[in-house]
Chain A
Amino acid sequence: MTDQTYNSKATRQDWMGLLARAPESALMPLWDKYEVRPNFEWLRSPEVGGVMVRGRTGGTGARFNIGEMTVTRCSLVLQDGTVGHGYVQGRSKSKAQAAALIDALMQTSAAGAVHDQVIAPLEGQIQSARTDRASKAAATKVEFFTMVRGEDT
């Protein structure tokens, strides 16, 4: 709990969301490179379940259920008592475990190192994949032009 910037709710929301959305193939190589593996005990070992996704009629109106998505969750506690939660999309228990450990470490003095070696590069990869699609979409934007006809002076 040394670095206040990693302690606010908004940032914890950010890194947990990032870990949830990140493809396993992007997260795991970074996590493997980080190497440090603190001892922990399970509070809830990884379990696979479903979350019902909701939308709104017309995008803004009444809520309705679209369908479920798979989610894997787990909770653990480090030896110093820090609790980490993993809530990740899909059915990978190893990804959920990595997410929970990272969540815990981000609340300890290791936060800076974990941020620099895992969170920041992961964020970079996700952002670049997003920009890549947005760039391709932009290239398919229709540029209308008007054909001038009739008497032109």
Chain B
Amino acid sequence: MYVAVKGGETAIENAHAWLAEERRGATDIDELSIAQIREQLGLAVNRVMAEGSLYDPDLAALAIKQSRGDLIEAIFLIRAYRTTLPRFGYSKPVKTDEMACDRRISATFKDAPGGQVLGPTFDYTHRLLDFKLAAEGEVPAAPTAQPRTEATPHITEFLKGEDIIQDEPASDTTPGDLTREPMEFPSNRPLRLQSLTRGDEGFVLGMAYSTQRGYARNHAFVGELRIGKVAVEMDIPELGFAIDIGEIELTECETVNQFKGSKTEPPQFTRGYGLVFGQSERKSIAMALVDRALRWEELGEDNLGAPAQDEEFVLSHADNIQATGFLEHIKLPHYVDFQSELELVRKLRREAEERMQPKEAAE
């Protein structure tokens, strides 16, 4: 059987031309600039950087413009671009305890040193549409106060003395990198965290929510949530020492989880960890909850068969580019596959009919 595989070039070209026109929208409306997207749609930019796994606000803004605001399409563009970049190296681990915090809150310690700093948050807004934003207007300057100059210590540091919270001992083992080797199971915590931080926000949120609703409940409190800038430092071989190669915004969430103890661990608080590019608070909290749920084995907890405890399930489905690639490919031409399916169903029906006929004849 011959099936045409050529053709459609003109249709495709014309479709892309129309796409460009639709992307632009009505020409009597000003065109969006990359800078406007970067500055005014910052949280969309952050999501594209986190899930695109590349920190570059201008590129993320360009991707959002190109994708007409379809963030998964934008993430796809960033991932594709990322693969073209030569890898200069790996940074030293960022020092989140030296973060210049825009926001830093704790749900567990009211009087934590450094205080509860709300930052530019949506929390406590009334979630009523603000029609003032529909009109142009000046924004009044945000109030200021005496700035904190010293670093803000992590809250878990204060619990360490009592040995009542699980320690996170430093280790310089080289972590696996899933941009270099495909994920294999069983995995390990560093790989799980890499997968979760670039995972789809909606998926990670859903998984985290499932633990709160009772599927492997782990009683999480937000021990600390901080958002701000940290320097990124890397050893430069030609210099023989390390320098800052830039500064990035991160959201870090550390959960403190109730833990009654297990066969291997004494009763103490355990921890879940979220660290995400940009101001990405929901994602960071969700990541910490899922991280904690996936630690059941090392903590000697029971496997309750909950989806959020199943690392193969979680990590294999967290990546929205893999997911959308496989999902959306079924809309592309499958004429040959479908022809053979059609032939098969026709044949089965013919056979079924033939089996029926002699019976009917006999009756």
Contact = CB atoms under 8 A, between A and B. Distances in A.
A123 B55 CA distance: 23
A17 B90 contact: no
Contacts of B179: 52, 65, 68
A68 B89 CA distance: 10
Interface string B53-64: 111101100000
A134 interface: yes
A32 B273 CA distance: 45
Contacts of A37: none
Contacts of A79: none
Contacts of B52: 67
Contact of A50 (B86, B174, B197, B198): B86
A58 B147 contact: no
A151 B88 CA distance: 68
B85 interface: yes
Which of B55, B121, B168 gathers most chain A CB within 10 Å? B55
A24 B66 CA distance: 24
Contacts of B208: none
Interface string B83-94: 001111111111
A13 B236 CA distance: 11
Interface stretch (B26-34, B129-137, B242-250): B242-250
A65 B90 contact: yes
B172 A66 contact: no
A52 B244 contact: no
Contact of B231 (A21, A59, A139): A21
B85 A52 contact: no
Interface residues on A, range: 35 or more
B107 interface: no
B169 A61 contact: yes
B88 A62 contact: no
Which of A17, A57, A132, A136 gathers most chain B CB within 10 Å? A57
Interface stretch (B96-104, B257-265, B299-307): B96-104
B148 interface: yes
Contact of A47 (B86, B177, B198, B236): B86
Interface in B29-60: 49-50, 52-56, 58-59
Given A50-B86, A61-B168, A17 B231 contact: yes
B67 interface: no
B190 interface: yes
Given A13-B243, A59-B97, A133 B231 contact: no
Contacts of B234: 51, 87
A65 B16 CA distance: 37
Interface in A110-137: 130-137
A65 B190 contact: yes
A112 to B, nearest CB: 22
Given A20-B243, A60-B168, A141-B116, A51 B147 contact: no
Contact of B55 (A57, A68, A130): A68
A138 B91 contact: no
Interface in A14-59: 16-18, 20-21, 47-59
A21 B247 contact: yes
B173 interface: yes
Interface residues on B, range: 35 or more
A131 B52 CA distance: 31
Contacts of B178: 65
Given A59-B96, A69-B54, A134 B148 contact: yes
A63 B173 contact: yes
Nearest to B86: A49
B63 to A, nearest CB: 13
A88 B142 CA distance: 31
A149 interface: no
19 contacts: A9-B241, A13-B243, A16-B243, A20-B243, A21-B247, A50-B86, A51-B232, A53-B232, A62-B175, A64-B175, A64-B193, A66-B197, A69-B55, A70-B85, A130-B100, A135-B145, A137-B117, A138-B148, A140-B117
Interface of B: 49-50, 52-56, 58-59, 82, 85-94, 96-97, 100-103, 110-111, 115-121, 142-149, 154, 156, 168-175, 177-179, 189-191, 193-194, 197-198, 231-234, 236, 238-239, 241-248, 250, 252, 254, 271, 273, 275-277
Q: Which 10 A-B pairs have the closest CB atoms?
A: A89-B246, A58-B168, A17-B244, A61-B168, A134-B147, A64-B190, A135-B144, A69-B55, A138-B145, A50-B85
Interface of A: 9, 12-13, 16-18, 20-21, 47-71, 73, 75, 85, 87-91, 130-142, 144
Given A62-B170, A138-B145, 5 more contacts: A51-B89, A65-B179, A65-B194, A136-B144, A137-B102
